[in-house]
Amino acid sequence: MVEVIQPARRLHGSVRLPGDKSISHRYAMLASVAGGITTIRNYSSGADCHSTLACLRGLGIEVEARGDEVRIHGRGLHGYRQPPQQLDAGNSGSTIRMLSGLLAGQPFETRIGGDESLSRRPMQRIMEPLRRMGAAIEAREGRFPPLLIRGGPLEPIEYETPVASAQVKSCVLLAGLMAEGVTTVREPARTRDHTEVALREFGAEVETGPGWARVKGPARLEPRELAVPGDLSSAAFFLVGAAMLPESDLVIDGVGLNPTRAALIDFLASAGARIEILDIGMRHGEPIGVLRVRGSKLAGGVIEKGLTAALIDEIPVLAVLGAVSEEGLTVRDAAELRVKETDRIETVADNLRRLGVRVETAPDGLRVEGRQRFRSGMVSSFGDHRIAMAFAIAALAADGPVEIEGAEAASVSFPEFWSKLREIAD
């Protein structure tokens, strides 16, 4: 599918966004191992979170989904049934990596794989700790999906993750639910803590501190009535679009503002964006609020060290912002971008160049000079949702229409993106 995006003067009005992808995955997985029925409102409409539901169904869990409300009939930590066929995680790294933690503790063998992009993503990062806990796991070429997981009784471990990855941390904590004793994970940089927050909500014993989290097993999780905050990483596209277009005034309602995700807001503010938090509250341990952003003069900035992990999903759209800012954008310590849904250093650079923007790449980052102009042209999503949406935002500031090939990729996290963009752009 090709979407043609016309230049715009502004983004304006008020929008609500579908539920957060990260939180939706976690609520669904934890609900499946709780003892009873959990209701989840504002569940992410994205294909990734529906891949999680499909995998849970494959494991014999009853899942009712009506619009954005999902009811999951949890059957306790050991209530999964051996799936008759390979589970399909689709495009979703979160599904395969986090669910593997729960599969490692089941007394049966499971195969889990996904699409072409997922089949190229590294899995040693979860295989290593799960093997240490006692699971047997095989992978294609020793490291890629599909995985064959032979689960069984697990031992608790103390594990230091070599990469800053919330998916790896979560995988180990989920496996820790089934191990007898305390499982501890330490991480080299702070990553999103939705698993720790959700585990607490479901009644698990969790402790956290700077750079570590631990969980006590075996845990008994209680079913809950939950609502998912709007997805800040989806909001990022509209926040950047509004900040880039001088006449913008946009309000985004009901959006998740967890401090481990909200580095985006601080970064935009430090880059000169006129961004305000109008209201903030708490729901199920997750901060949720209203954001207002207006057209701004943008300075640009540097993303490196711990900030890189905190902004990892937002870097494609921040690279777009960099090109029209005064000083441009420098990204360092971001080798992880090369193993996302696409190699996002290359796919961002390729599309920037197609729109006439100069960019330099490095093994672990990129540099986009400021004060550039996007030219009319054609870009590709390369099958990556965040690349499709980042370049729709670039198109708003271009000197003519931009065609986005493979625009359907956006539905992995944000199927409503194109219609919402049309509602707020003029």
Give Cβ neighbours of residue 60 (< 8 Å, ≥ 6 apart): 75, 79, 80, 81, 83
Q: Is 92 in the site for ligand S3P (CB under 6 A)?
A: no
Site size toward ligand S3P (CB under 6 A) is: 11
Pick the closer one to ligand S3P by CB: 244 or 334: 334
Q: Is 165 in the site for ligand S3P (CB under 6 A)?
A: yes
Of 5-13, 161-169, 251-259, 282-290: span binding ligand S3P (CB under 6 A): 161-169
- Dihedral sign computed on CA atoms, order 126, 129, 132, 135: negative
How long, in residues, is the chain? 426
Q: Indicate if 313 belongs to the active site.
A: yes
Which has the closest alpha carbon to 52: 34, 75, 70, 76? Answer: 70
Which tokens sit at 32?
């499946």
Q: What is the CA radius of gyration of the chain?
A: 21
- Residue choice 44, 117, 167, 308 for contact with ligand S3P (CB under 6 A): 167
What is the nearest approach in angstroms of ligand S3P to the Cβ of residue 22? Answer: 3
Q: Angle, nearest 10°, between helix axes 385-396 and 315-324?
A: 20
Identify the H or E element spanning 97.
helix 93-103
What is the nearest approach in angstroms of ligand S3P to the Cβ of residue 226? Answer: 16
Which tokens sit at 169?
């941390």
How many other C-beta atoms can be found within 10 angstroms of the C-beta atom of residue 209? 8
Hey, what amino acid is at 388? A
Distances (CA, A) of 254 to 14, 94, 281: 11, 23, 9
Pick the closer one to ligand S3P by CB: 260 or 361: 260
Residues 51-70 that bind ligand S3P (CB under 6 A): none
Q: Is 20 in the site for ligand S3P (CB under 6 A)?
A: no
What is the nearest approach in angstroms of ligand S3P to the Cβ of residue 382? Answer: 16
Pick the closer one to ligand S3P by CB: 237 or 374: 237
What is the nearest approach in angstroms of ligand S3P to the Cβ of residue 373? Answer: 30
Pick the closer one to ligand S3P by CB: 37 or 189: 189
Pick the closer one to ligand S3P by CB: 236 or 355: 236
Q: How far is CA 81 from the centre of its chain?
A: 28
d(C-alpha 214, C-alpha 174), whole Å: 10
Of 162-170, 199-207, 219-227, 276-284: span binding ligand S3P (CB under 6 A): 162-170
Distances (CA, A) of 110 to 51, 90, 138, 241, 389: 16, 16, 11, 43, 34
- Residue choice 271, 312, 321, 348 for contact with ligand S3P (CB under 6 A): 312
Q: Is 240 in the site for ligand S3P (CB under 6 A)?
A: no
Q: Is 192 in the site for ligand S3P (CB under 6 A)?
A: yes
At CA 264, angle to CA 8 and CA 404, rounded to 5?
Answer: 40
Which tokens sit at 26?
């976690």
Pick the closer one to ligand S3P by CB: 3 or 231: 231
Q: Give me the residue label for tokens 């496996």.
A: 175
Of 37-45, 68-76, 110-118, 163-171: span binding ligand S3P (CB under 6 A): 163-171
Give the full edge-to-edge strand order of the sheet including 212-217: 158-160, 181-186, 212-217, 206-209
- Residue choice 313, 314, 384, 408 for contact with ligand S3P (CB under 6 A): 313
What is the nearest approach in angstroms of ligand S3P to the Cβ of residue 92? Answer: 9
Candidates 88, 193, 231, 313; catalytic one: 313
- Residue choice 191, 234, 330, 380 for contact with ligand S3P (CB under 6 A): 191
Summarize as ranges the residues that interact with ligand S3P (CB under 6 A).
22, 94, 165-167, 170, 191-192, 312-313, 336
Active site residues: 313
